[in-house]
Structures are given as C-alpha cells and as structure tokens.
Amino acid sequence: MPWIYNMKVELSSQPDNAKVWVYQSNLELTDSDLAQIKEVGDFFLGQWQSHNLPVNGSIDVYAHRFIVISAFSDEDTMCGRAQDSQMRLIKELESLVTGTLTDRMLVFYQEENKLKSFHFSELKQLLSDNKITSETIVFNSLVATKKEFKNSWKVALKNTWLSQFL
C-alpha cells in the first residue's frame, strides 16, 4: 500500500506559498477509488484556471486516506471561482469513492506507526482514558499552504487547535 499517489505536478515541486486543501476519507480509499480520483483529477487539473490563467495544481493521496490538493498560479491570489471549483471536485469525488471526504469532525492520529481516527466528540474521553495525550501525533487538516503542510500537517496534539481541550 503506497504512502503517496500523485498526479501531474507533485506537491513537492510546488512553491512553499502554494495553497493547500486537505480532505480526509473516513474509509480507506481502494485501488478503484484511486483510479477514479486519478481520472477525474487529471481532467480537473488540465482545465483548472484562475482569472483565465492556468493553475499549477496537484492532487496527492497519502496513506489511502488523505487527498491533498495544491494550487499555484502566477497571480497573488486565486479567484473565488477557482477555489470553489476544487470544492466541487471534492464533492464529485465524494460521490464516486468509498468514503466521506468532507467530515471536518474526523481527527486522524498516529499510534505506533498505525493510522487511527476518532470523531471530535470523542476527544475528551480519549484524553481522559489516556488513549491519546498532548504528545499524540495528529494530522492537521487545517493547513493552508505547502509550507504549513510540510511543517504542521503531522504535529503533536498540543500544537493544534485541539490543544484548548487539554
């Protein structure tokens, strides 16, 4: 099972200020799901524009759970239509793949090199039961740029917005 699967331009080749959106699947994405993501994603990336200029975009899938879309263009900001179109892409993918991609209440964490998840509503109980701690590595789906993705996507729970519940 590969850790990363990407199309067109890889996230690693994007500049640090490239915009990033992270979507999480509540279920492991299958090989069939990955094929759907590639087909629909390749088409999307081939026509993605902002202010009538091509967007240098990438779609990467990590650990069969995380879809990371990145975008960079030669302008200072992306137009709202370009940003909205990537959300429509995710909604289309969500209708095609096994899992749900837009549940922001799902929190993924790492335990002994295994990927696990819980619903946000379970956080206090997991902390109380010592099943997770302030040092537990969680996946921060709120990162907004490639630089943040590199530095803050996988981070100790105490360094995320969830720290207010510690």
What CATH number has the domain bearing residue 14? 3.30.310
| Mean of pLDDT over the chain | 89
Task: Based on the fold, state whether residues 13 and 87 are members of the same structural domain.
Answer: yes
**How does pLDDT run across 35-61, given as a tens digit for each residue?**
999 999 999 998 999 988 888 899 999
pTM: 0.90
Contact in structure between 89 and 69 (CB atoms under 8 Å): yes
Among the candidates 96, 129, 147, a domain finishes at: 96
Average pLDDT over residues 7-19: 80
Task: Based on the fold, state whether residues 47 and 110 are members of the same structural domain.
Answer: no
Provide the number of structural domains found in the chain. 2
Task: Based on the fold, state whether residues 161 and 140 are members of the same structural domain.
Answer: yes
Query: Which pLDDT score, from 0 to 100, does residue 7 have?
Result: 54
Residue 112 has pLDDT above 90, yes or no: no
Contacts 24+ apart (CB under 8 A), 27-32: 27/98, 27/99, 27/100, 28/64, 28/65, 28/98, 28/99, 29/61, 29/64, 29/65, 29/97, 29/98, 29/99, 30/64, 30/97, 30/98
Query: Which pLDDT score, from 0 to 100, does residue 77 have?
Result: 80
Among the candidates 96, 114, 133, a domain finishes at: 96
Query: Which pLDDT score, from 0 to 100, does residue 8 have?
Result: 58
Domain containing 146 equals: 106-165
Task: Based on the fold, state whether residues 149 and 88 are members of the same structural domain.
Answer: no
Q: Is residue 87 part of a domain?
A: yes
Average pLDDT over residues 139-161: 94
What are the structure tokens assigned to 156, written together? 């100790």
Average pLDDT over residues 121-129: 95
Among the candidates 50, 67, 96, a domain finishes at: 96
